[in-house]
Amino acid sequence: MMSTSALTIPNLLSGLRLASVPFLLALAWGGHDKAFLLLLVCALLTDLADGYLARRLHQESELGAKLDSWGDFALYISTPFSAWMLWPELILREAPYVAAVLASFVVPILIGFVKYHRLTSYHTWGAKLSAVLMGCGTLLLFAGGPAVLFHLATAVLVLTQIEEISITMVLPEWRSNVPSLVHALRLVRNDGSCKGS
């Protein structure tokens, strides 16, 4: 069931995540690493909560899916640049993984824009898993912990984004909330059988 109201708790959480990005960049620019980490944790928690609450409260909407996707994109693209300002030696050491993360976010979005002229909002199961792993791995890395979880999260993210590119290639028109490539293939098959009747 889709919500018709724009002012919902999930939309507010996604909007807060989007709004946190300039503050994260400002904190990084000012060298406030502890405040940056605290705000980053809060932003990541909104990412965990918004989709769950949208489904639980029956407040799913196309606007919500777009806000969630834009919030994710802004947060995940700005975080490496913020980290560069705070921990340049760490980013240099992890450069191949950071480059893979950035490419994994940018390439599927570019392909989606070329095909649909808008940001994709699939919210796949893989994306949810990779978001949790990437959030935990990144925070652990920034806090001075081992990099192994960040490396694992990067591998999962790359696979997830390959699936998202595949979904874009399969779906003839934009759709939100497509849980997996299997679901996309079913949608195409069902649409084809409906048109054939």
If DSSP codes are grouped into helix, strand and coil, which group holds residue 60?
A: strand
Residue 25 and residue 39 in one domain: yes
State the Cα–Cα distance between residues 90 and 101, nearest whole angstrom. Answer: 15
Residue 93 and residue 147 in one domain: yes
pTM of the full predicted structure?
A: 0.81
Residue 73 and residue 113 in one domain: no
pLDDT by residue (tens digit) across 166-188? 999 999 999 988 999 999 999 99
Per DSSP, the residues of 136-172 read: HHHHHHHTT--SHHHHHHHHHHHHHHHHHHHHHHH-S
Residue 133 and residue 195 in one domain: yes
Residue 103 and residue 63 in one domain: no
Confidence tier at 194 by pLDDT (50, 70, 90): low
pLDDT by residue (tens digit) across 138-169? 999 999 999 999 999 999 999 999 999 999 99
Residue 119 and residue 173 in one domain: yes
Question: What's the total number of domains in the chain?
Answer: 2
If DSSP codes are grouped into helix, strand and coil, which group holds residue 58?
A: coil
The residue segments making up the domain with residue 36 are: 1-86
Residue 18 and residue 56 in one domain: yes
